[in-house]
Amino acid sequence: MSDRTEAPITMSTDERRASFSLASVIGLRMLGLFLMLPVMAVGARDLPGGDNPAWMGLALGIYGLTQAAFQIPFGMASDRLGRKKVIVFGLLVFAAGSLLSAAAPNIEVLVLGRALQGAGAVSAAVSAFLADLTRDEVRARAMAMVGASIGLSFALSLVIAPLVFGRFGLSGLFLLTAALAFSACAVVWRVPSPAKVQALPGEPSMRVAQLLQLDQLNRLHLGIFAMMVVQTAMFVAIPLSLDAKGIPLADHWMVYLPLLLLSFAAMIPILFWAERRGKFRVTFLIGIGILMAAMALFLGVDDFRLWLLAIWVFMVGFNLLEALLPSWVSRVAPRQSRGMALGIYTTAQSLGLFVGGTLGGLLAGWYGLSGIFVACLGILLFWLLVAIGLREIGSRRTMVAERPSSVG
C-alpha cells in the first residue's frame, strides 16, 4: 500500500498538451528575444547614432525595463479578462515592436521599438495560464518544460542569429521575431481555456500591496531576482571565458547545447523526486548549493574539461530552480490573484536581468571574470540564508495561501 501512495503522479493528456503548447509559446517568444543578443551590438552600428555606446546600451537594456513595468498590469489583466486574450494581445504588442524595430531609420527609433517589444510582457500571464491547467502535483514538471523551451531557444539563437543576420541584416532578424510572435498567437489560441478559477474556502482576493506583505512570496521574489542577476552576470563571464580559451563566438552553441541537454537529464530525476516526496524546500536549498558549487569550480579550476564541468553544474542548478520557483509561487499565491502574484514575480525576474547584465559588465571591467564569480557566490550565499525561511509546500493537491497576518 505504501508503494501505491508513493507512486509518481503522471500528467494527464490535457496537461501534457497544455504544457507543451504553452512551453512552445514561451519558446517562440524567447527565441524572438534571444536572436537579437548575439548580433545587435554589431548590427546597430549601421544605423545613424548606432555607434554611440550610450544609445546602444539603452537599445539593449530598455527591453528589460519595460518588461518589469508591464508584468504586473498584464498579470492583473489576465486575472480579470482571461489569460488567452491578454496573452495574445501582449504577443501582438511584441510583434508591433519588432516591426517598428525592423523599419527603424535611426538608433532612437530602434530604442522605441525595443521598448515596445518589452511592453508585451506576457510571461506572468502564460505562467498563470499553465498553473490553471495543471495540478499542483505535476506543475513543477510543466514549468520544467517551459524552462527547457527557454534553454533550447537560447541555444538555437546562437546558431540561427549569425546566419539570418549575415543574409538579411538586423531588419531581417526583427521581421523573423515578429513572425515568431504571430506563430505563438496561433498556438495559444488553440489551447483550451480552463474553467474559471475559484478561490478556496476562506481564501481572500488580494491587491498588489497585500501580496507584497506575504513573507513566503517575498522570499520567492527575492529568489528569482537573485537567480537572474547571477544568470545574466554569468552570461557576461562565460562567453568571455570561452572566447579567451580560443572558442569563437560562432561556435559557442556547440558548448551550450550539449551541456544544456545533459543538465536536463540530471535535473529531471531530482525534480520528480521532489514532486513525489513533497520535498520542495530541501530540493530548493540543494539547487542553490549546486549553483554555489559551480561558482567555486569557476574560481578554482583552469583546465578546460573542468571548466565545462563547471558550466554543466551551473546549468543543472539553474534549470532546477527555474522549474521550482514559478511552480512554488503559483501554489503559495491566492488562486484568484495568481496572475498578479506571477506578475510581481516576473517583474523581479526582469529587474534581475537588467541588474545582472549591468553588474556583470562593470565587474568584468573592474576586477575581471573572477570578480563576477566572487560576487555571484556572495549573492547566492545571501539567497541561501533567505531561502532557509521558506516553508515546505508538500505534495498536497490544494493549499490555502498564507494571510497577511502571517508576515514574518
**407 pLDDT band (50/70/90 cuts)?**
very low
The residue to which cell 556547440 is assigned: 254
**397 pLDDT band (50/70/90 cuts)?**
very low
The cell for 234 is 554569468
CATH code for residues 13-193 = 1.20.1250.20
**271 pLDDT band (50/70/90 cuts)?**
confident
The stretch 135-147 carries a mean pLDDT of 72
Task: Check: CB of residue 71 under 8 Å from CB of residue 354.
Answer: no
The residue to which cell 490553471 is assigned: 132
d(CA 118, CA 136) in angstroms, rounded, equals 30
Residue 296 in this model has a pLDDT that exceeds 90: yes
In 190-310, at which residue ranges do the beta strands (DSSP E only) sit? none
**398 pLDDT band (50/70/90 cuts)?**
very low
If we measure between CA atoms, which residue out of 59, 61, 34 comes closest to residue 47? Answer: 59
At 364, which amino acid appears? A
Q: Which residues contact 369 (CB under 8 A, 6 or more apart)?
A: 237, 240, 241, 298
DSSP 406: G
All CATH 1.20.1250.20 domain ranges in the chain, comma separated? 13-193, 206-408
If we measure between CA atoms, which residue out of 311, 307, 294, 293 comes closest to residue 257? Answer: 311
Range from 45-49, 62-66, 289-293, 361-365 that averages highest in pLDDT: 289-293
d(CA 163, CA 173) in angstroms, rounded, equals 10
Report the pLDDT value the prediction gives residue 290, as an integer from 0 to 100: 96
The stretch 361-384 carries a mean pLDDT of 89
3-state secondary structure of 73: helix
Task: Check: CB of residue 139 under 8 Å from CB of residue 323.
Answer: no
Report the pLDDT value the prediction gives residue 129, as an integer from 0 to 100: 86
Residue 22 in this model has a pLDDT that exceeds 70: yes
Give pLDDT tens digits for 193-216.
765 554 444 445 566 677 777 788
Helices (H), 333-408: 338-367, 369-387
The stretch 359-375 carries a mean pLDDT of 85
DSSP 274: H
Residue 50's H or E segment, with its range, is: none
Q: 57-85 burial by CB neighbour count: b if 16+ within 10 A, else e?
A: ebbbbbbbbbbbbbbbbbbbbbbeebbbe
The Cβ of residue 42 has, within 10 Å, a number of other Cβ atoms equal to 12
d(CA 91, CA 248) in angstroms, rounded, equals 34
If we measure between CA atoms, which residue out of 406, 5, 397 comes closest to residue 210? Answer: 406
- Measured N-to-C along each axis, helices 83-102 and 53-81 cross at an angle, to the nearest 10 degrees, of 160
The Cβ of residue 5 has, within 10 Å, a number of other Cβ atoms equal to 6
If we measure between CA atoms, which residue out of 258, 259, 267 comes closest to residue 316? Answer: 267
d(CA 86, CA 349) in angstroms, rounded, equals 20
The stretch 64-78 carries a mean pLDDT of 84
**Residues of the chain with pLDDT > 90: what percent?**
19
- Say which residue, 118 or 56, is predicted with more confidence: 118
- Identify the CATH homologous superfamily for domain 206-408: MFS general substrate transporter like domains (1.20.1250.20)
SS3 breakdown of the chain: % helix, strand, coil, rounded to 5?
A: 80, 0, 20
d(CA 296, CA 332) in angstroms, rounded, equals 32
Residue 233 in this model has a pLDDT that exceeds 60: yes
Q: Which residues contact 64 (CB under 8 A, 6 or more apart)?
A: 118, 350, 351, 353, 354, 357
Range from 73-87, 89-103, 197-211 that averages highest in pLDDT: 89-103
Give pLDDT tens digits for 29-63.
777 777 776 666 567 777 888 777 667 667 766 77
The Cβ of residue 390 has, within 10 Å, a number of other Cβ atoms equal to 18
Region of poorest pLDDT, from 179-183, 274-278, 316-320, 336-340: 336-340
